[in-house]
């Protein structure tokens, strides 16, 4: 299987599994990734997704052997297919964490950027090397990278085709933390567990408000936030948690409704 799917309590682990090709993205990987994302979306027991790669790469890019003879029409079809899946992951109500365990280049960097949170192993490498192959990024790199690190740094990375290490990725805000490689998955599960223990309506409304706000002006974003805030007051979790806080009693856990 080119993509593995595993449930661990409230967490779905999706592993790109083409280690012999450094997990390069082809149509089969995209189809299986889509199936895994939809399986996690449909499972009420899953609260958080973790994406990672098998072997020494997260995803080293799209499969060059597949793309080299594409016509413009075939190239557009491939990009649109990948973008639809990555956008579905990005807009999924359930938060996602990219555990970047090695090369995250081209489509791999773009897949990581479609996740909500990115953590990197110390040996991780990031980059958009496409112009060195005579093409542009095609799976969201020209759009998500400048939103994450600013236009100047994004243009530098894309136009030079140079890759950066984990520490530089942390410095520019592409990842939120760097950990020793052997601690990467443990850290991802620890982070996922912290998210899963919180009120899930509030978690999902917060994610949605952030994502919507990044695409609009401040006043519209504040309106989205007020709406998300108000939705939470229709939940039992808000009543239980605030009553427990006022009573100085311990909340036994969230009902997620």
As annotated, the active-site residues are 110, 130
Alpha helices in 64-149 (DSSP H): 64-67, 72-91, 107-113, 141-149
φ and ψ at residue 117, rounded to 5 degrees = -135, 140
Torsion of CA 157, 163, 166, 168, to 10 degrees: -40
d(CA 131, CA 231): 45
User: Three-class SS of residue 70?
Assistant: coil
Helix, strand, coil percentages (3-state) for the chain, rounded to 5, are 55, 20, 30
């Amino acid at each position: 299987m080119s993509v593995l799917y595993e449930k661990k309590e409230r967490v779905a682990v999706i592993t790109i599994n083409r280690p012999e090709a450094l997990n390069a993205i082809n149509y089969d990987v995209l189809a299986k990734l889509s199936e895994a994302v939809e399986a996690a979306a449909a499972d009420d027991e899953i609260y958080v997704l973790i994406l990672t790669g098998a072997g020494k790469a997260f995803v080293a890019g799209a499969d060059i052997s597949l793309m080299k003879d594409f016509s413009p029409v075939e190239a557009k079809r491939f990009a649109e297919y990948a973008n639809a899946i990555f956008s579905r992951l990005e807009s999924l109500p359930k938060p996602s964490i990219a555990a970047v365990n090695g090369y995250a280049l081209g489509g791999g960097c773009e897949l990581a950027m479609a996740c909500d949170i990115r953590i990197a192993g110390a040996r991780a490498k990031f980059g958009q090397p496409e112009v060195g192959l005579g093409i542009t990024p095609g799976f969201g790199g020209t759009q998500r990278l400048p939103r994450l690190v600013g236009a100047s740094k994004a243009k530098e990375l894309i136009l030079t085709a140079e890759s950066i290490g984990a520490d530089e990725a942390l410095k520019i805000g592409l990842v939120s933390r760097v950990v020793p490689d052997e601690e990467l998955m443990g850290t991802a599960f620890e982070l996922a567990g912290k998210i899963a223990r919180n009120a899930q309506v509030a978690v999902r409304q917060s994610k949605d408000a952030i994502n919507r706000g990044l695409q609009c002006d401040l006043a519209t974003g504040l309106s989205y936030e007020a709406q998300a805030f108000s939705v939470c007051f229709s939940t039992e979790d808000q009543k239980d948690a605030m009553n427990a806080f006022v009573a100085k009693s311990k909340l036994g856990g969230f009902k997620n409704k």
